[in-house]
Amino acid sequence: MNSPQPTPKISGIILAAGLSTRMGEPKQLLPFGDSTVIETVIDNLLGSKLNEVIVVVGHQADKIQAHIHHKPVKVVFNPRYQEGMLTSAQCGVGAISAAADAFAMTLVDLPLITPDLVNLVIDAYVQAEGGIAVPSYNYRRGHPVIFNRRYAAEIVALDEDSGGVRSLFKRYAADICYVNVDTDRVLRDIDYREDYEEALRKSASA
């Protein structure tokens, strides 16, 4: 009789180093519920089946760290954050635990993604034959995206002309398991003030 496959260890990576140019102030620290946007995202990942949570900071790192220092997360600073999101993804991937079999990547401005939604993607990843799991709503890719560790070196080696982490979706299309979800929460990032206000409304009505 075959023994059951061991449950993979999955690290969570929150990309929180951006400049929030379109918002005009650090969206990481906007009030959300009883805390802030970044604390909400951290708590949602900590409440899931992920084995660790890594937060990549950059712009206004000291302010952000002051808000999250009490959280059981690994904080890493991206000195190249002004060069764009790819550098933060690479920084986060470089910080995953040596024991991690995979990593889940998400953005700091998606506070509506609940632990249950994260677990849905984790469960699909575990059951899938391929190495990438992506939540999908109305045929649009959302977050978090889970990658097997075998893609880590390739992500770290990407350059700014590569198209970023998304370039792997085309290169490894056959490896992707799309997880159909019944909510747009996996898509609802906060770029502008109206996005933030809508996220607050959606959160309050949940």
Domain boundaries, position 150 = 10-205
Residue 7 — pLDDT band, cuts 50, 70, 90?
confident
End-to-end CA distance of the chain: 45
Which H/E stretch holds residue 70? Answer: none
In a domain, 5, yes or no: no
Q: Residue 64 corresponds to which amino acid?
A: I
Instruction: State both tokens at 151.
Output: 């893609």
User: Residue 30 belongs to a domain with what CATH number?
Assistant: 3.90.550.10
Residue 54 lies in a domain: yes
Residue 4 belongs to some domain of the structure: no
**Spatial separation of the C-alpha atoms in residues 47 and 52, rounded to whole Å:** 11
Q: How many domains does the chain have?
A: 1
**Mean per-residue pLDDT over the chain, rounded:** 94
Closest CA to 108 of 72, 68, 161: 68
182 belongs to a structural domain: yes
Residue 118 in domain: yes
Give the predicted TM-score (pTM) of the model.
Answer: 0.95
Q: For the segment 8-59, what is each residue's pLDDT rounded down to a tens digit? A: 999 999 999 998 888 888 999 999 999 999 999 999 999 999 999 999 999 9
